[in-house]
Amino acid sequence: MRLPEKPSLLVQSGEKLELAGNREATVDGCGGVLEYTQNVVCIRYGHGVLRFVGRGLTLHSLEQHSLIVSGYITEIAYAARGELLTPLPENGGEQP
């Protein structure tokens, strides 16, 4: 599983990302879901956007500011406000 190059950006006031292997991520401090498919989940997180890429991704325990992403997570990317996330491959993040 690939993680952001600057993991310190994920630790912000009131936000927390907790991983259970590559099968589950608990996010506290979620500001809303921007994209949700079986292969990609993008959410507002702190002052940026957090993207999960994988297979069979589902959202659970949607509460006011927290959620759980489960499935087979292959990549997590973060972009602060004003930065861009790296584009996904043409197959939408699916692994061959």
| Residue pLDDT, tens place only, 19-70 | 999 999 999 988 899 999 999 999 998 888 999 999 999 999 888 889 999 9
3-state helix, strand, coil in the chain (%, to 5): 5, 55, 40
Give dist(CA 25, CA 68) in Å, integer.
6
CA separation for the pair 96, 91 (Å, rounded): 9
Sorted by where each starts, the structural domains of the chain and their CATH numbers stand as 7-80 (2.60.40.2000)
Rounded CA separation 68/58 (Å)? 8
Of the segments 14-18, 26-30, 92-96, which one has the largest average pLDDT value? 26-30
pTM: 0.79
Torsions phi, psi for 21 (to 5 deg): 65, -145
